[in-house]
Amino acid sequence: MVLVAVGGYAAYLIVILGRAGSTPLPEVSYVPPLLWTIGGGIVAAIVLNIAVAIFSPDGVGKTDQRDREIGRFGEYAGNSLVVIGGLAALVMAMAELDHFWIANAIYLAFVLSAILGSVAKIFAYHCGFQSS
């Protein structure tokens, strides 16, 4: 999931910066690439999940209570950045910044949330996880 999120964001940045050239960033047409990378990321994540479930050996994709608890822990950790992104967007809207910056702040928060969530899950798997 984190690879899909980071890969999509990297592709988005390449497209946007490629389009920018000498024009100011807020004037770049960002909406189509943004929608395509978010939509593509959702589709890629679903396809990857299905592929892993089909092609992994027996028992490898099996999950249990611990996996679910660690999954929830990762989501919880990642959600903090979505909230921060939402607050940042709120402040930017009140400051009447360009839509470009507001949309990009929210998108960046989504990506960082996916990264933090995945890092938290990896940390929990390696270093231990105690249900509260």
Partner 1 sequence: MKSTRVTNAIRSLRFAHGEMTQAELADRIGVTRQTIIAIEQGRYSPSLEMAFQIARVFKVPLDKVFQYPDGEGEKR
Residue 62, number of CB atoms within 10 A of its CB: 8
Residue among 95 and 127 whose Cβ is closer to partner 1: 127
- What single DSSP character describes residue 1? -
Tokens 């933090």 map to which residue?
116
Residue 52 beta carbon to partner 1: minimum distance, rounded to whole angstroms: 15
Residue among 101 and 123 whose Cβ is closer to partner 1: 123
Question: Considering only residues 53-92, where is the footprint of partner 1 by CB under 8 A?
Answer: 59, 62-67
Q: Which helix (H) or strand (E) holds 87?
A: helix 65-94
Nearest to 100 by CA among 24, 4, 7: 24
Q: How far apart are CA 44 and CA 113, in angstroms?
A: 18
The site that binds partner 1 (CB under 8 A) totals a number of residues, namely: 15
9, amino acid identity: Y
- The encoded tokens of residue 106 equal 């929210």
Question: Considering only residues 24-43, where is the footprint of partner 1 by CB under 8 A?
Answer: none
Question: Considering only residues 101-130, where is the footprint of partner 1 by CB under 8 A?
Answer: 123-125, 127-130
Residue among 54 and 127 whose Cβ is closer to partner 1: 127
- The encoded tokens of residue 77 equal 């950790």
Residue 101 beta carbon to partner 1: minimum distance, rounded to whole angstroms: 36
Residues that bind partner 1 (CB under 8 A): 59, 62-67, 123-125, 127-131
